[in-house]
Amino acid sequence: MITDPFQSSIEQLESAAKFLGLSREIIDQLSQPQRIVKVNFPVLMDDGNIKIFVGFRSQHNNARGPYKGGLRFSLQVTESEVKALSAWMTWKCAVAGIPFGGGKGGVVVDTKQLSITELERLSRAYIKAIYDVIGPNKDVPAPDMYTTPEIMAWMVDEYSKLVGEYTPAVITGKPIDKGGSEGRTEATGQGGVYVLEQLSQKANLVPQNTSVAIQGSGNVGYYFAVLAQQLGYKIVAISDSTLALYNPDGVDVNAAMEHKKQSGSFVGFTGASQITNDQLLELNVDVLVPAAVENVINEVNAGNIKAKYIIEMANGPVTPEADKILSQRNIISIPDILSNSGGVTVSYFEWQQNKDNQKWTKEEVLNKLKPIMVNAFEEAWAAMGKYGTDMRTATYVLAVKKVVDAMIK
Ligand code: NAD
């Protein structure tokens, strides 16, 4: 079983490269980030001691534009992980057709152990350590796991002080009153629902007769669920990290979330029965939407998946081994680099607004997002037929081709 995300990313590149007949030199070039920066930096803790933290910034490829990608604060951050995530960002931006390359960064830290003042000093110290390799036309970070809009605001402030000018376009995902974009919060879920609508057209799925199971109910899962429900899709299951709610007639997502808000969990919600996350994944539904964590569909359960279609909203929810099994079973999986690219696309809109000193309405933002998602889906669907392969490989072939075409060889 492949668990090293960097190895998975190389496998995905290699399978796309076969269709494009890429030379070994190009494949080798695209396998590794162009630059990876590792920093050890000091942070003053509240007790007066100095603690040294380790951080990374991986810059995979900038042939199509500045590196773009989030920053993670987590004990799980490793060099291998940021390298893989930066490569996925390169492909994701190419699929969406936005003029960015791929980057990713992180700091090895458990934010739950920090006070708010320590978190602010850590965020500023990390930027001080990497500020010379980032910039609005160089590398544009954003939030990711355990980093927030507020953290992005501290980072922009620190960067602006270091370079001597207010530079909001250096980082996206900021709070709205600090240069953030309207529509960013729901962008990833909304983008996924645009994909669901396109898929429905291809597969003749009528919303009212289409059952959908969603793993996760965080930013991505929640917005996907409510927006799909508004269109009439039957959300028969939704989960959090502890349990899943199931009702074959449909779960009222807003009522379930309200129950969780009031009581602290989904336990006791009367509009659905309780099942496990593993059972959710194996439900007999039309569309399965993993929107929580990576590797949840793997060689152990891929043979038991009953959904006809999977829309990958989490990053890396299907392992390469599972992918082969799903493909043999004719289950179409819309890959993460396409399905969840709504988030980075609206980050691009934020960057554009900052550079042009503009402020777009939410309606404007979502109206610009839709054609990008529709076009990305249509291109990948057509490539699936053209190359006679599965949707993931077809999407990778398109993405890798766009990057290779932009590279100076
Ligand atoms: P989040 O932290 O808001 O929500 C995560 C959800 O997953 C929560 O409902 C949590 O209870 C659930 N969860 C956590 N561990 C779980 C487990 N072991 N089993 C089942 N459920 C579990 O995160 P998010 O922003 O919604 O991101 C979800 C996924 O989407 C991640 O893979 C993320 O990288 C990806 N993604 C997010 C964005 C974005 O804009 N937020 C963009 C692209 C991709």
Neighbours of 107 (CB within 10 A): 25
Rounded average pLDDT over 391-409: 94
Mean confidence (pLDDT) of the chain: 96
Is the fold of 34-181 the same as that of 185-339?
A: yes
* Segments making up each domain of the chain, as ranges: 34-181, 185-339
Q: List, for residues 169-214, the tens digit of each pLDDT value.
A: 999 999 999 999 999 999 999 999 999 999 999 999 999 999 999 9
Rounded average pLDDT over 203-231: 97
Closest C-alpha residue for ligand 1 atom 17? 241
Report pTM. Answer: 0.95
Q: List, for residues 47-79, the tens digit of each pLDDT value.
A: 999 999 999 999 999 999 999 999 999 999 999
Ligand 1 atom nearest the C-alpha of 221 is 26
Closest C-alpha residue for ligand 1 atom 4? 218
Instruction: Indicate whether residue 343 lines ligand 1 (CB < 6 A).
Output: yes
Among 251, 250, 238, smallest CA distance to 280 is for 238
Instruction: Indicate whether residue 185 lines ligand 1 (CB < 6 A).
Output: no
Q: List, for residues 129-185, the tens digit of each pLDDT value.
A: 999 999 999 999 999 989 999 999 999 999 999 999 999 999 999 999 999 999 999
Q: List, for residues 239-297, the tens digit of each pLDDT value.
A: 999 999 999 999 999 999 999 999 999 999 999 999 999 999 999 999 999 999 989 99
pLDDT at 2: 52
Q: 272 φ, ψ to 5°?
A: -165, 160
Q: What are the catalytic residues? A: 104
Output the six-digit token pair for 98: 């936005």
Q: List, for residues 87-112, the tens digit of each pLDDT value.
A: 999 999 999 999 999 999 999 999 99
- Distance from the CA of 97 to the center of ligand 1, in angstroms? 24
Rounded average pLDDT over 330-348: 97
Instruction: Indicate whether residue 241 lines ligand 1 (CB < 6 A).
Output: yes
Instruction: Indicate whether residue 347 lines ligand 1 (CB < 6 A).
Output: no
Ligand 1 atom nearest the C-alpha of 294 is 32
| CATH, domain range 34-181 | 3.40.50.10860
> Percent of the chain scored above 70 by pLDDT?
99
Output the six-digit token pair for 14: 């290699």
> 377 and 198 in contact (C-beta within 8 Å)?
yes
Q: Could you tell me whether strands 244-246 and 234-239 are parallel, antiparallel, or unpaired per DSSP bridges?
A: antiparallel
Neighbours of 363 (CB within 10 A): 10
366-394: b or e for each residue (b if 16 or more CB lie within 10 Å)?
bebbeebbeebbebbbebbeebebbbbbb
Instruction: Indicate whether residue 256 lines ligand 1 (CB < 6 A).
Output: no
Between 121 and 319, the higher pLDDT residue: 121
pLDDT at 402: 97
3-state secondary structure 273-304: EEECHHHHHCCCCCEEEECCCCCCECCCCHHH
Closest C-alpha residue for ligand 1 atom 14? 241
Neighbours of 170 (CB within 10 A): 27
pLDDT at 294: 87
Instruction: Indicate whether residue 216 lines ligand 1 (CB < 6 A).
Output: yes
d(C-alpha 227, C-alpha 253), whole Å = 10
Among 40, 88, 45, 38, smallest CA distance to 68 is for 88
Binned at pLDDT 50, 70 and 90, residue 1 comes out as low
> 340 and 89 in contact (C-beta within 8 Å)?
no
d(C-alpha 86, C-alpha 213), whole Å = 29
Q: List, for residues 356-371, the tens digit of each pLDDT value.
A: 999 999 999 999 999 9
185-339 domain in CATH 3.40.50.720? yes
d(C-alpha 233, C-alpha 157), whole Å = 43
pLDDT at 8: 83
Q: In which region does residue 3 sit, left (phi positive, over 0), alpha (psi from -120 to 50) or beta (all else)? A: alpha
pLDDT at 99: 98
pLDDT at 342 over 80: yes
